[in-house]
Amino acid sequence: MRRKLFLLIIILAALTSACSPQVVKLTSVDEAEYYNGREIVSKEDDNASVTVEIDTYSGDEVVFYIEIENKSNEKMFIKPANFYVDALEADLYSFDKHLPRFYALNPEEQIERIDGDKNSRKTAHSVFTGINAITGLVSIVADLSDGNNYGKAENVANDIGNWAGNQIDEEIDYDASMNEYEYQKEFWKNEVLRTTDLYQNDFTGGLLFVPISNEAEYLKLTIPTEFGNYNFLYKKVIAD
């Protein structure tokens, strides 16, 4: 009996292990340093210092944290929308012809989109408030005009209650939406790498969002500058 129970436990453990989803991550092909378990890769020359680490990777998107310092005496223009990722073959040189080039999300466009969504929600709020007021008024007038006095006061009270309840729900949803838009906007303004000019010894840093394909096994991040391209190589591996 114990032998059968032991075998059953082994079988169940094997099945559980086989069914567990594999965790995939990106790891650097370049020489990396480690800080708090995170890979940090730096490329440096007389003109600039560029440091990159993987913040998150989901298969469909990779988020980098990037720091750039201008070491030259010339202005350095940073435009994250020009940063891109190419899918490579296993030789880490040839491009994967089945996949396109993936450009980073433009933070300026994201901020504009959020402002547009925010204005649309304000308009919708005004329209809903007006319609709700008109609908409530029509219902109240209809009940007051009803020749049957039986239950008239109760019906009017219900109309007022429905109008107030709808408006309260709308106000709660509206406030939550506005707060979310403000949070998103502040995030893209302050946490994400922005378009900027760097002068000598100036420094900037932030997140870079790049939508990619889950099929990409080897990736090359390219950061173009006036001084040339800074490239970072990564490969997809099964996490330990």
Residue spans per domain, the chain:
18-107+192-238, 110-190
How high is the pLDDT of residue 2? 47
Q: pLDDT of 147-159, one tens digit each? A: 555 444 445 455 4
Residue 144 pLDDT greater than 50, yes or no: no
pLDDT tens for 173-224 read 889 999 999 999 999 999 999 999 999 999 999 999 999 999 999 999 999 9
Q: Does domain 18-107+192-238 have CATH number 3.40.50?
A: no
- Residue 7 confidence (pLDDT): 42
What lies within 8 Å, CB to CB, of 41 at 6+ separation is 28, 30, 31, 32, 33, 51, 52, 53, 232
- Is 52 within 8 Å of 41 (Cβ atoms)? yes
CA separation for the pair 227, 77 (Å, rounded): 10
107-113 LR contacts (CB < 8 Å, sep 24+): 107/80, 107/81, 107/188, 107/189, 107/192, 107/193, 107/194, 107/195, 108/81, 108/194, 108/195, 109/81, 110/188, 110/192, 111/185, 111/188, 111/189
Q: How confident is the model at residue 121 (pLDDT cuts 50, 70, 90)?
A: confident
Tell me what the mean pLDDT of segment 63-72 comes to.
96
8 pLDDT band, cuts 50/70/90, is very low
- The overall average pLDDT reported for the chain is 82
Q: What is the mean pLDDT of residues 164-180?
A: 81
Tell me the percentage of the chain whose pLDDT exceeds 70.
Answer: 74
The pLDDT assigned to 135 comes to 56
Best-predicted range by mean pLDDT (23-32, 34-43, 204-213): 204-213
Residues 102-124 have a mean pLDDT of: 93
Mean pLDDT of 228-239: 91
